[in-house]
Structure 1
Amino acid sequence: MITARRAGTIALALIAAQLVVRAVLVAWGDFYWDDLVLIGRASSHSILSWDFLGHSHDGHFMPGAFLVAGVTTLLAPVQWWLPAATLVVLQAAASFAVWRMIRALAPRAPGWGLAALAFYLFTPMTVAGYIWWAAALNTLPMQIVMAVVVANVVILVRDRPDGRRGRRLTIGAVAAFVVALLFFEKSLFILPVAFVAALLALRGATRPQWSGGEVDYRQSPLTQTFLRARTLWLTLGGIFVAWTVLFLATSTATAGVHSLGQTAHLVWRSVNNAIVPSLVGGPWSWDRWTPSPPMGFPSVWMIVAGWVVLVAVIAATVKTKRGAPMIWVFTLLYAVGAQIPVMWNRSSDNTALELAQTMRYLPDTALVLAIAFALLAAAPRDVGAHTADAPAPSRRLATVGVVGGVLVTVSAMVATMSYGQSWRDDPTGEYLANARASLAQMDGKVMFDQPVPLEVLLPVAYPNNMISHVFGRVAQRPDFGNVTDQLKVLDPDGKLVAGAVTPTRTFKPSRGSCAKPGIDGPAQLPLSGPLLDWKFTVGFSYCADRDGVVELRLEGGLPVQAPVRAGLHALYVQLDGHGDAVQIRPVTPGLRLHTGDGRLGEPAMAALVP
């Protein structure tokens, strides 16, 4: 028999072991995709502005997550150590909150409560939503608050604490709910989960009240669940409605093309290929198609084993535990139903079904399963309609449970380490480290803006895929402008290399020579062909008789002024527009200029330009 004190010691050891594993995962990790989008927006907006905090990011309304990302970017721009520390701290808070919740749900079954905790701590369902910083800023606050609110409402409804403690639990639940909503709109699910958990906990702790041979519905668990925490439910309900209206008014979640058929396929893939194999610690195999996150590919035997375990546990608990059918109905409804809005927002005829196998949408489902396991642990044995709670489970059953739990935990560790290795296979971290060092070499100089490699962030994220956004808060970096006399670019590895202009169009030397410059007023440099309206880079050598300023422009574009120096030098200018000639004129009185061969195109690595 495990005592409450011994269970607390074991729980502390389990949480410590989980945090060691999670620390290893973040040590292997780095920024990825949406992380850079958050950093880019924090680098181009005031982090306290509504344009930043209220932005609908891929359909999500998450001002709290944006604020944390903004502060992190200000303190340690494009440095992984601070987000990594944030992840470990948030996970620690979530794990302790879940253990507190399990103790509230199953105070007299500490041994089986530890099994529920171990499932939450080590299931692969929570890994994908942890190691990805942007996703963790959504899901970890939701997990923390769901555990806090469920624990508070169960204590309020079942234990009916005195006035001061009751007010403290009510205020704490309301404040936590608001905080969770600031990070993730899916936290709206916390309210129905908390109500159902409180209902099932009260239902398991009471028996029906009979009046004249009929059930007294005034004393029914449903009625009492509401009445005993009426103030809390009404407050949370008001917040729920107000936040839903705010979310619908600000979010773009419903934009785009959606497909009912694809939604159904994605939900089934999430259940069959992600949730079910996780019940036996899977999947062990992960594959990554850069720049996508890792996707789990469980073996057929693991899917079958997951279904067998699920059916067996349901059958055993339904047979032996009072109230188990209702617990399982609500749990399975959440496991399936919570996937529907997410997959609907991601559905289209072109959406790959493997999206559902990334498992990043499942951390809250793992927590709901842990709640169900704790409720089942606390439920009395069903050996008659009016029996008291049964004694502790037999030694044989306990042994089977311990052995099975150890095997599933070991399996989950295999899956977790496999996921970590797959996540580690990403070019983003190396690129960012090289780019920071390269940009520091250009501190105080001017560079042209350029996108990060496709393997790091696709152009769909523009303008946050530009290096001026990703590295905008870095202290040692160049100024990003449209005029420079030294063309440097970052190669795909983030290293600084010599740049050149691609010869989309060319032009010949202007009249005169270096000895007798021929441009002393407005002139045109005819191009080898016409241009469509676009942003182009012009590169050419020149001779000037003095220091000064010249102006260049394309037809239909704004003029750009560029400094020139006396003698022979090179100049690179970015211009918008179209036409068949570059227009140039000296701005400085008396300045005369001669231009050599020139090119007009895109900046690129010199080694790749003929």
Structure 2
Amino acid sequence: MAGRPARVALALIAAYVVVRIALAATGGFYWDDLILIGRASTHNVFGWEYLTHNHDGHFMPGAFFVAGLTTVLAPTHWWPAAITLVVLATAVAWAVWRMIRILAGGASWATVAVLAFFLFTPMTVPSYVWWAAGLNSLPMLFAMAWLIGDAVLLCERGHRDSRLTRLIVGRSALVYLVALTCFEKSLYLLPVVFIATVLWCRGGADRGDQGTATIPGPLAAAFVGARPLWQVVAPITVAWAVIFLSVTGGQGAAGQHSIVQTLHLTWRTINNAVIPSLVGGPWTWDRWIPSPPMGFASTGQIIAGWAVLAVVVGLIVRWRRGAWPIVVAAAAYVALAQLPVMWNRSSANTALELAQTMRYLPDSALVMTAALALVAACPSVARRQETPLWPAAATAVVVLVASSGWGLWNFAQSWRTNPTPDYLRTARTSLQSDPTRIMFDQALPLEVLTPIAYPENQISHTFGRIAPRVRFGTVTDDLVVLDKLGRLVPGGVTPARTFAAGAGSCTRPEVQRLTRVPLSGPLLNWRWTIALSYCANRDGQLSVQLAGGSPVTVGLRAGLHVVYVQTTGHGSVIALRPLTPGLSVHTGEGNVGEVAEAALLK
């Protein structure tokens, strides 16, 4: 009989993997993904500066390393990133099934239902499809499930076999360390694993487990039973916490944080995300580009979610002996785990809808799964009441999976309304079409990445590793830019400031020595592009400089032409100085500003 639930579990995992493959195959890069690509394209991916970068309060050298390798392998191509997501998600499913079986004492129909909850809950999907979030959360989920399983194995089997104990501790320490390098939130693992072990040991006497029943008290049983593991992972936790704080200073996202808004965001997460997910919601997803999809659960779904929670908790407490501490521990984690995240995200510019993106919930889903597995291991108060319950439970699981599938379908449709994949594909082809062309750096479209991510929002960062390499320069007489679709189109310069034609003419050029051309107003210190029309009496070189910036040497051709110069500086004048003896230049009117599509400047 035990073999049949195991086979059904494997079939569920296979279905889960197929769904994950479909999601990855139809996905693409988004937001932070481009920041990872940009840094990997402009840094040594094996270098300390790259690996230990403080990314918006995150310390994640492992995730940076994976992102760097995939970028080097196939820059701006989605398929390597998709493979990493599928592989990691498959490993997580396997680790969770292993954890469930260890906690519940084997495969049964109850454990299959618990597995189905984890595999198909909407809480794990948004962080999966987003590559940067998946590189954070998936290793943490694997490590959490794996360490819970190993800690319980140590308590169950004791330390009689020292070689096996060393093997279990060694592999758990390695898994834990990898998770820490990918996401500092993995520091939560030690308390979660310890509490799960205590709760498992609490039911040891009722189950007749010899490894725990001989030690008085579940706390002592958990501590003694898995002591070799705690002796290794506790120092790792402390050391990594110190490293994390030294690198990031304990600072998350910038902004004026608010306790009141933190509580609002936390409540919104629970009421509008966690609760409807218990009935497969939300079914409705909306997206305001460039934000990620947000779930909008109906009032009916929220009420149904609370009702299901009340019924399930009521049945658990009534029919499973000693299950109430498990319920309390799981509920506490789901609520408390949101507070640090929402505190870091709280600011005057943070909308409450952030909580409805559901990308901060995968670890809560796993904790709830572990709690259900522990409940399944609790002895029944009245076994005769179990039989009528199973048809209803099986029906509930089928309904949940179907409801989650419909919500997943709608989420996937919303997620695909992402302009980034098409832009990257078109821009990559455009830039590779003429390797000899000199391109000016420019910002990615606002729908792809906003200037808040500067300098990673520059095309020189995003496409820095594509082959053949793009030639980025500071001087060109043929200005082309990428439009918002990624196509090469004629470029121009926005008139942030303008300057008038020189006092001379082509027959009487006025620039023969250092000459300062006044602008229509002052410039802030920034990277500016100058559109300079000129008439030169001969071929030669001209120095162009803004105040505070380095001079740029510009090659001129005899006759009437236009040249574009990109330089950094500020002030109210452009300094021009001929470098070639005998060179005289007359300047026409021009602009100083940002590169843009010429068609938009007409």
| TM range, smaller chain | over 0.9
Provide, for residues 324-381 of structure 1, a one-character-per-residue CA deviation record: whole Å limited to 9, x for no partner.
1011011111111111111111112442111111100000110111111111111111
CA deviation profile, 1:512-542 (whole Å, cap 9, x unmatched): 42xx563673143644634334443222333
Given that 1:158 and 1:198 are in contact with CA atoms closer than 8 Å, whether structure 2 keeps it comes out as: no
What are the equivalent positions in structure 2 for 1:74-473 lying under 5 Å apart? Answer: 74-108=72-106, 110-160=108-158, 162-207=161-206, 219-251=216-248, 252-254=250-252, 256-383=255-382, 390=383, 393-394=386-387, 396-473=388-465
Question: In the alignment, is the contact (CA less than 8 A) between 1:530 and 1:578 conserved in 2?
Answer: no
Aligned residue among 567, 570, 578 for 2:562? 570
Deviations 1:265-287 (A, max 9, x none): 11111111111111111110111
Letter of the 2:280 counterpart: G
Shift of 1:202: 2.1
Q: Does the CA contact (< 8 Å) of 2:517 and 2:576 recur in 1?
A: no
Which position in structure 1 is the counterpart of 2:513? 522
How has the CA–CA distance of structure 1 residues 579 and 171 changed in structure 2, closer, same or farther, with 3 Å as cutoff?
Answer: closer
The SS at the match of 1:206 is helix
Answer whether contact 1:208 1:220 (CA < 8 A) is retained: no
Could you say what secondary structure the match of 2:386 adopts?
Answer: coil
Tell me the percent identity.
51
Of 14, 24, 27, the residue aligned with 1:26 is 24
Residue segments in structure 1 that go unaligned for 5+ positions in a row: 210-215, 384-389
* 2:6 maps to 1:8: yes
Give the letter for the 1:492 counterpart: K
The answer (yes or no) to whether the contact 1:502–1:602 under 8 Å persists in 2 is yes
476, 488, 501: which one aligns with 1:508: 501
CA distance in 2, matches of 1:581, 1:248: 46
Distance 1:87 1:508, change over 3 A: same
Shift of 1:62: 0.8
2:508 and 2:322 map into 1 onto residues whose CA distance is 94
The Cα of 1:4 is off from its aligned counterpart by 2.7
Give 1:559's aligned residue. Answer: 551
TM-score (norm 2): 0.94
**Is the 8 Å Cα contact of residues 523 and 572 (structure 2) preserved in structure 1?**
no
Amino acid at match of 1:485: D
Q: Secondary structure, in 3 states, of the residue corresponding to 2:203?
A: helix
Closer/same/farther in 2, CA of residues 172 and 269 from structure 1, 3 Å limit: same
CA shift for structure 1 position 580: 4.8
Once residues 272 and 115 of structure 1 are traced to their aligned partners in structure 2, the CA distance between those partners, rounded to angstroms, is 24
Cα–Cα, structure 1 residues 37 and 528, in superposed 2: closer, same or farther, change >3 Å?
A: closer
CA deviations on 1:566-597 (whole Å, 9 max, x unpaired) are 44432111233445543323223344444444
Q: CA deviation at 1:482?
A: 1.4
Task: Summarize the Cα distance change of 1:559–1:278 in structure 2 as closer, same or farther, 3 Å threshold.
Answer: same
SS for the counterpart of 1:505 is strand
**Which residue does the alignment assign to 2:480?**
488
* Residues 512 and 585, structure 2, Cα contact 8 Å, conserved in 1: no
Aligned to 1:532: 523
TM-score, scaled to structure 1: 0.93
Separation of aligned partners in 2, 1:191 and 1:555:
55
Query: What is the one-letter code of the residue matched to 1:448?
Result: F
SS at structure 2 position matched to 1:219: coil
Amino acid at match of 1:607: A
Q: Let me know the Cα RMSD of the aligned residues.
A: 2.2
Q: Which amino acid aligns with 1:549?
A: Q
Instruction: Say which SS state the counterpart of residue 607 (structure 1) adopts.
Output: helix
2:464 counterpart SS class: coil
Query: How far did 1:609 drift?
Result: 1.8
Give 1:11 shift: 1.5
Change in Cα spacing, 1:581 to 1:152, as seen in structure 2 (3 Å) is: closer
Q: 1:599 to 1:399 in 2, by over 3 A?
A: same
Aligned pair in 2 of structure 1 residues 590, 365: CA closer, same or farther (>3 Å)?
same
Contact 1:64-1:183 within 8 A present in 2 as well: yes
Q: Residues 558 and 319 from structure 1, CA distance in 2 versus in 1: closer, same or farther, beyond 3 angstroms?
A: same
Cα displacement (A) at 1:449: 0.9
CA contact (8 A) 2:545 2:576 kept: yes
Q: Does 1:604 align with 2:602?
A: no
Instruction: Give how far 1:424 is off.
Output: 0.6
Give a deviation string over 1:6-35, Cα, whole Å, max 9, x none.
222212211111111111112221110100
What CA distance in whole angstroms lies between the structure 2 residues aligned with 1:179 and 1:537?
45
- Residues 207, 379 of structure 2: 8 Å contact kept: no
Match of 1:69 in 2: 67
